[in-house]
Amino acid sequence: MQCLHAMHKMSPLKGIKVIELAGLAPGPFAGLLLADFGASVLRIDRPNSISGDQLTRNKTSITLDLRSQTSLNILLRLLTTADILIDPFRPGVLERLGLSPTEALLKHNPRLIVARMTGFRRDGKYKDMAGHDINYLAVSGVLSMLGRPAEKPHAPGNILGDFAGGGAVCFQGILLALISRSHTGRGQVVEANMVDGSAYLATFPRLGRNTPAWAEARGENLLDGGCPYYDTYETKDAGRYFAVGALEPQFYAALVRGLGFEIGELPKREDRKEWPVLKEIFTRKFKEKTRAEWEAVFDGTDACATPVLEQRELQEDGYEQRPVVHLVSTPAVPIHADNGGWTGGGMLPGDGGVDTLREWVGWERGKDFEVREDGTFVVVNSKSKI
């Protein structure tokens, strides 16, 4: 099997070795971002595990039983040569395994960066509690801002907490630690949590609470669905929507023209008391044409009016998934069908791990290690060195 992390020689993180302890959502997403930009990411799976992780693009895997000293020894040997360890566990789990970052891991490898991803903060009243994305958003103050007027707060899937405030923020912390290491020569512990990450993403509305843009209740502000010219509208074909973001006067004028109105025919857009009336007018108007017909009207204009495209449509139309950012001189590994651009998954526990051990530490199966029936990698030669 060709090593996936060698696919793109000019990627910016080529040569960076990452050990990702298997988890769900934010930890694997941080690993995915690292892998997409050329890092060699080795996921550590548990024996007899059936992973539901879909974020496996460009990664490899080995299976270790971290309750076993033999497996812990293998992990410690790998960590000697690794640059980054992604820890997705609740506070205290690594310590109970004898893998305290400060007391063990950084003494074992002073250049190691230990990225610890938790949901709640590591201190405070929630630190020992279980939770999910919706809970982290709830205590961060962000969930209270999401939803329609006079309705209950609405959680936007698990995108904002797990991925934006969690995995992506953890990825940023890792990059900052790599920059710091380039100056100091030493690694460190990166502590990311989804409460602080999500709250930080909400800096703009938090600081705008006393401004016209965000001073009203949930769902009644300029950018949260309260404004009639910053909202979505159902079209004639039920279930198909159009998005409108015509905030500036010149863009609003283009929207009004496209809808077939004159500015003077409509309530004044600056008058918030008229927003419900204006919204009702737009609602009725958008239902007069299909989404495709509105596309024909607004495509190529500055009305800030676009179709709400669905994932299934994009996939069927051959929409190209791309890395999060393009670096002109050192681009990321391309995303395509063969590495799960639309489907995800595709990596079972143990996939590609034999090649990674050969590349990282020069170990050969049968000589230095073997794979048991349950998939666990075990050392067969105690003299094998890194």
Enumerate the active-site residues: 162
At residue 42, the 3 state secondary structure works out as: strand
Is residue 350 within 8 Å of 371, Cβ to Cβ? yes
Other CB atoms within a 10 A radius of the CB of residue 193 amount to 26
Task: Tell me the backbone φ, ψ of residue 76, rounded to 5 degrees.
Answer: -65, -35
Query: Which ranges in 109-162 belong to alpha helices (H)?
Result: 133-140
Rounded distance, CA 100 to CA 93, Å?
Answer: 9
Rounded to 5 degrees, φ, ψ at 87 are -105, 110
Position 163, amino acid? F
369: three-class secondary structure by DSSP: strand
The token pair at 129 is 């509690």
| 270: Cβ contacts below 8 Å, ≥ 6 apart | none
Residues 6+ apart with CB under 8 A from 134: 143, 155, 158, 161
CA dihedral 28, 34, 35, 41 (to 10 degrees): -70
Q: How far apart are the first and last CA of the chain?
A: 22
